[in-house]
A and B are shown apart, each in its own frame.
Chain A
Amino acid sequence: MQQKVSGDLRKDEQLLIDTIGQGLDTEYRHLLVPALNNASVLIVYIKGLINTTELEDAIIRPLTAPSRNANEKGAKKTPLPEFIESTLFIAGVKQSQDWTEICDAIVSGDSVLLINKYDAAFILANRGWESRAISEPTSEVEIRGPKDSFVENLMPNMALIRRRVRDYGLRFEGMRLGDRSKTDVVMVYIEGLVNDQILHEVRTRLQKIKTDAIMVSNYIEEFIEDSKYSIFPKMERTERPDKASAAILEGRIVIMVDNTPFVVIAPSVFWNFLQSPTDYYEKYILGTFWRSIRLLAMFLAISSSSAYVLLTSFHQEMLPTSLALKIAADRQGVPFPAAIEAFVMEVLLEVMNEAGLRLPKALGQTVSIVGTLVIGQAAVQAGLIGPALVIAVATGAISSYAIPSFAMSSAIRLLRFPVLFCSSLFGIFGYLGAVIFITLYLMSLRSFGAPFYSPISPFQKDDQKDTLLRLPRPQMKKRPSLAKPQDSVRQTTTPRSQNKSEEGGP
């Protein structure tokens, strides 16, 4: 659409109707403006997307007010743009001739004012739609730390970050992606801290996206991530503004997508998915302890059911004698081999998990009762499965919930099926083969240039302070090298100078 505003109101209106239609929610409001010699004007807007009160009080009322200087013929020389800007009580007024921009403005929730015999339109920023209030995070609950979370609306989200990072260099670089959805996507970073190469890489990858619609942030992730077929998430997602802000302060890039309460953090490594904001909100020893627990949990989540199969079907010598006898006694009369038993149980568990996720609250109890009673108790008593297996599978399930990131935890839950399969084929060899395969794969991945398994391997000495360990805050003098920040010094020796906000300004 290369056309421009013609200035002929009738023609322009027809063009608009042809472009955005005359649907129920689209309003074409005609007015006569006394101040402009009763010139005919047209206001176009989408009903649900604008602030109606503002439209009435700040646009229509001043426009239709009787002209103060109607009688003073001489003083009527004010040019039209100045007149509009000074008459309307509205924060943003922008003049445009470009139809595309005008239509985009309308569908985004702005009102557009067209004046007869004037070959430009005024875009009036009076967006305002029903939106969820900022509430507590639901999927990333932390005991301590702030309780606010991102919402579906971009503006409050940006405000949440700006309130935390008042650095002059903080930038919200917007772009509009999706030919049809025209979704706003914002890259957030601190200029002067962020690595320009990575920033450029993220920007180009985003700009390369050619698709019709971006519904949620995962669409973006799938377009820009490094190995598209990988099962592991390679960018952190969070609904916590504190976590996002901390990432920005490390020199990483946060990508916000309109209509998604989750933001994406761009270079992320494997170990980030085992970290949680609470590590920083409690004593450092606890932080370190929790991280080691999570590492253990990840190991258990992958291998608990495989370990059961390994020990009961392949390497019984590893069990202490009394335990071996107990398991053997409990398995008397169990019809299937341990491998099949474990496989069935794991699948059942996933089914229960999936069912539990989406059930209305009222039904949840039923599922948990049916799950525990039928699968836990009755199946064991009926001799269909061994009780030790139930313990192994449950350990794996609980462990997988201990991983803070839902995406990583799901990936690991999925991965235990191949591991279990290999273990059932070749015992310890199969298990080790699968584990080596997975770790090798993890090591080969990259996230925007950062090796996914760093800083453990390749080993970065300085980054160990905040990977599996969590040292006291004053010790963490440098930012993680993950995002290769331009300024790697977080604080000098004394902890007093933590507040370094003057570094970035252009």
Chain B
Amino acid sequence: MTKAKISRMQYFLLIPNLLFPKAIGITAGVTARRVGGDAWTAMSIGFVVGASILLLMILLSSKFPNLTLIGIADQVLGKWPSKLVGLVLLIFFIIGFAVSANVMTLHLKEYFLIETPFIIICLIYILLCMYGVALGVENIIRYALLGFLGCLLINITMVFGTINDFEWINFLPVFDRGLMANIAGSIYVLGDLALAIMAIGMIFPMLNDSNKAGWLTFWALATSAVIIMIWPILELGVMGAGAMEQYVVVCMQQIRCAQLTRFLPRYELIMVFFFTFATFVQSATLYFCAVYSVKQTISVKKDWYIVVPLAFVLLPVTYFMARDHNDYVNFLDYPWSQICTALSIGIPLLLFIIALVRGQLMKDNQSAAGSSSA
């Protein structure tokens, strides 16, 4: 698995997949509850902040070629602190997986499989992700193309289905609750971006050509921002802030309002059809990252010995996190987003500063020509 290589194209497509599912489904609602009609501005701010952290991460990674976040910690901090970082990341990825998996399971539980026991849905989804991880990270990332196409198709069909009900007046007034509230609300997007930032910290060394990786990441992030921001904007334009605040899964509510012509009045099934691919890529990547951080921390030769026991950990975490969906959303509201923000800013920044102080950044300065954009 260590020899796995991903191409630039795959890397580019992976980033939207890592962000899209949770951002459109849950985050918009969480943000709207905090800042009302300004959800879209708050999310935009979140993207700008998140982008700079992500680029910092890339800058850091390209100074230490072929090293994951844990590997960098090992170089910079020493052996034992790096084990600690590994443990923190493992827990982060386990919870991150559960958060991501529950985006999917909640869609299903609330709109499609009302009577199916929740544990069964979780179990099957985890098994599916486990299969993906067992086949190797390359295959998961190959799936990113399908996931990305799925995202585009949902967007196109959703825009067609709801544009008739779109009202600009719902946007106004902008910054109703003040700029500070907006900035505070952007933390929820950082919660999503943190998953991507950490995952990229683990996956970046696999990129086969890291030339100008900073720009590549930047454009990938810009693309993701465009396809994601369509959602809060249309959700707001169609439903209004009041309705956005009301629901757990806002994107499904948006979908309930969509009408693809009079002859095909329902859209839910189409949405879930395209949505699943991206969610699968997100969840499976996080699963893989969890496996990989175990592997980097304690050297186990066979992936198999990590993948299976991890599934037994993930199942209860996923199940208990969202068995009551109010708890799930409350957890995202507090403390998950705050923890994510702290970690995603903290770890790269900490490593960066210590490395800077120790002068380790100077050594490979040439190899990081493309990261100047950070």
Direct contact of A and B (CB under 8 A): yes
Q: B46-64 vs A: 1/0 string, CB under 8 Å? A: 0000000000000000000
Candidates B10, B125, B140, B269; contact of A428 at CB < 8 Å: B269
Q: Is A336 an interface residue (CB 8 A)?
A: no
**At the interface, yes or no: B1 with Cβ under 8 Å from chain A?**
no
Q: Are A436 and B9 in contact (CB under 8 A)?
A: no
- Contact yes or no, A457 B145, CB < 8 A: yes
- Interface segment out of the listed A28-36, A310-318, A342-350: A310-318
Contacts between chains A and B (CB distance < 8 A), count = 76
Distance between B239 CB and nearest chain A CB, rounded to angstroms: 19
- In this complex, the member of A317, A439, A457 whose beta carbon has the largest number of chain B beta carbons within 10 angstroms is A457
B212 at the interface (CB under 8 A from A): no
B residues near A436, Cβ cutoff 8 Å: 128, 143, 276-277, 280
A436-B280, A440-B135, A444-B135 as given contacts; A458 in contact with B7, CB under 8 Å: yes
Q: How far is the CB of B112 from chain A (nearest CB, A)?
A: 6
Are A426 and B128 CB-contacts (below 8 A) given A439-B146, A458-B142? no
Contact flag A440-B143 (CB < 8 Å), given A317-B268, A432-B272: yes
B131 within 8 A of A: yes
Give which listed residue, A310, A426, A457, contacts B146 with CB less than 8 A: A457
What is the CA–CA distance of A433 and B139 in the complex, to the nearest angstrom? 16
User: Are B273's CB and A428's CB within 8 A?
Assistant: yes
CB neighbours (8 Å) of A440 from chain B are 131-132, 135, 139-140, 143
B273 and A320: CB pair below 8 A?
no
A485 within 8 Å of B (CB atoms): no
Complex-state Cα separation, A443 to B147, whole angstroms: 14
Q: Which residues of A contact B7 (CB under 8 A)?
A: 458-459
Is B163 close to A, CB under 8 A? no
B121 within 8 A of A: yes
Query: Using a CB-CB cutoff of 8 Å, which residues 419-467 of chain A contact chain B?
Result: 426-429, 432-433, 436-437, 439-441, 443-444, 451, 453, 456-459
Instruction: State whether the Cβ of B81 lies closer than 8 Å to any Cβ in chain A.
Output: no
Asked whether, in the complex, the Cβ of B113 is within 8 Å of the Cβ of A426, the reply is yes
Structural contact, A429 and B142, CB atoms closer than 8 A? no
Pairwise interchain contact B268-A429, C-beta atoms closer than 8 A: no
Nearest CB on A from B198, distance (A): 23
Of A310, A317, A426, A443, which one neighbours B142 at CB under 8 angstroms? A443
- How many residues in B have their beta carbons less than 8 Å from beta carbons of A? 33
Contact B142 A453 (CB under 8 A): yes
B81 CB to nearest A CB, Å: 37
Pick the most buried of B128, B142, B144, B272: most chain A CB atoms within 10 A of its CB: B142
Q: Which A residues touch B280, using CB under 8 A?
A: 436
The distance in angstroms between the C-alpha atoms of A224 and B108, with both chains bound, is 43
B124 on interface, CB distance cutoff 8 Å: yes
A459-B143 Cα distance, complex, nearest whole Å: 11
- In the complex, which residues of chain B have a beta carbon less than 8 angstroms from the beta carbon of A443? 135, 139, 142-143
Q: Given A440-B131, A457-B145, A459-B9: A427 and B139 within 8 A (CB)?
A: no
Smallest distance from the beta carbon of A455 to chain B beta carbons, Å? 11
- Among the listed B125, B135, B264, which residue makes an inter-chain contact with A320, where contact means beta carbons less than 8 Å apart? B264
Decide if A429 touches B113 in the complex (CB within 8 Å).
yes
- Residues of chain B with a CB closer than 8 A to A314's CB: 112
Q: Name the residue on A nearest B5 (C-beta).
A: A458
Which of chain A's residues have a CB closer than 8 A to the CB of B143?
Answer: 436, 439-440, 443, 457
The complex places the Cα of A457 from the Cα of B10 at a distance, in Å, of 8
Question: With A and B bound together, what is the CA distance between A457 and B272 in angstroms?
Answer: 22
Hey, which chain B residues are within 8 Å of A428, CB to CB?
112, 269, 272-273
Q: Which of B181-229 contact A (CB under 8 A)?
A: none
Q: Give B27-66 as 1s and 0s: 1 = Cβ < 8 Å from A's Cβ atoms.
A: 0000000000000000000000000000000000000000
| Complex: A439 Cα to B131 Cα, angstroms | 12
Size of interface on A: residues with Cβ below 8 Å to B: 25
Minimum distance in angstroms from A332 CB to a CB of chain B: 24
User: In whole angstroms, what is the CA distance A439 to B273 when docked?
Assistant: 14
Q: How far is the CB of A496 from chain B (nearest CB, A)?
A: 34
Task: For residue B4, give the distance in angstroms from its CB to the closest CB of chain A.
Answer: 12
Residues in chain B near residue A458, CB distance under 8 A:
7, 9-10, 142
In the bound complex, how far is the Cα of B143 from the Cα of A456, in angstroms?
Answer: 10
Q: Which residues of B contact A437 (CB under 8 A)?
A: 128, 131
B-contact 0/1 string along A86-109, CB 8 Å cutoff: 000000000000000000000000
Contact residues of B between 106 and 128, Cβ < 8 Å to A: 108, 112-113, 116, 121, 124-125, 128
CB-CB under 8 A from A441, the residues of chain B are 135
Within 8 Å CB of B268, what residues of A? 315, 317-318
- What is the minimal beta-carbon distance from A269 to any residue of chain B, in angstroms? 13
Interface string of A204-232 (1 = CB under 8 A from B): 00000000000000000000000000000
CA distance A317 to B265 in the complex (A): 9
Q: Return the CB mask of B3-31 against A: 1 if under 8 Å, else 0.
A: 00001011000000000000000000000
In the assembled complex, the Cα of A286 lies from the Cα of B350 at a distance in Å of: 59
Bound CA–CA A347/B70 (angstroms): 53
Whether B269 pairs with A433 at a CB distance below 8 angstroms is no
Residue from the set B132, B146, B277 with the largest chain A CB neighbour count within 10 Å: B146
Kindly state the separation between the CA atoms of A320 and B269 in the bound complex, as whole angstroms: 13
**Which residues of B lie under 8 Å from residue A439 when comparing CB positions?**
143, 146
Closest B residue, CB atoms, query A323:
B263
- B295 located at the interface, meaning its Cβ lies under 8 Å from any Cβ of chain A in the complex: no
Chain A residues, Cβ within 8 Å of B146: 439, 457
Contacting residues, chain A, for B9 (C-beta < 8 A): 458-459
How far is B124's CA from A457's CA once the two chains are assembled, in angstroms? Answer: 25
Residues in A whose Cβ lies below 8 Å from that of B116: 426
A97 to B163, CA, bound (A): 87
Q: Is the CB of B108 within 8 A of A429?
A: yes
CB distance from B110 to the nearest CB of A (A): 13
CB contact between A433 and one of B124, B140, B142 (< 8 Å): that residue = B124
The complex places the Cα of A433 from the Cα of B112 at a distance, in Å, of: 14
* A residues near B142, Cβ cutoff 8 Å: 443, 451, 453, 457-458
Tell me if A427 and B113 are in contact (CB < 8 A).
yes
Interface presence of B266 (CB below 8 A): yes
B136 within 8 A of A: yes
Contact indicator A315/B128 (Cβ below 8 Å): no
With both chains docked as a complex, state the minimum distance between the C-beta of A192 and any C-beta of chain B, in angstroms: 28
Asked if B265 and A320 make an inter-chain contact with CB atoms under 8 angstroms apart, the answer reads yes
Give the residues in chain B near A457, CB-CB below 8 Å: 10, 142-146
Bound complex: CA A453 to CA B265 (Å): 35
Q: List 24 A-B contacts (CB under 8 A).
A: A314-B112, A317-B266, A317-B268, A320-B263, A320-B265, A426-B113, A426-B121, A426-B124, A427-B112, A428-B269, A428-B272, A429-B112, A429-B124, A433-B124, A433-B128, A436-B143, A439-B146, A440-B143, A441-B135, A451-B142, A453-B142, A458-B7, A458-B10, A459-B9
A320-B265, A426-B116, A459-B145 given; name 16 further pairs at CB < 8 Å.
A315-B269, A317-B268, A317-B269, A427-B112, A428-B273, A429-B108, A429-B124, A436-B277, A439-B146, A440-B131, A440-B135, A440-B143, A444-B135, A457-B10, A457-B144, A458-B10
Contacts from B to A (Cβ < 8 Å): 7, 9-10, 108, 112-113, 116, 121, 124-125, 128, 131-132, 135-136, 139-140, 142-146, 263-266, 268-269, 272-273, 276-277, 280
A contact residues vs B (CB 8 Å cutoff): 310, 314-315, 317-318, 320, 426-429, 432-433, 436-437, 439-441, 443-444, 451, 453, 456-459
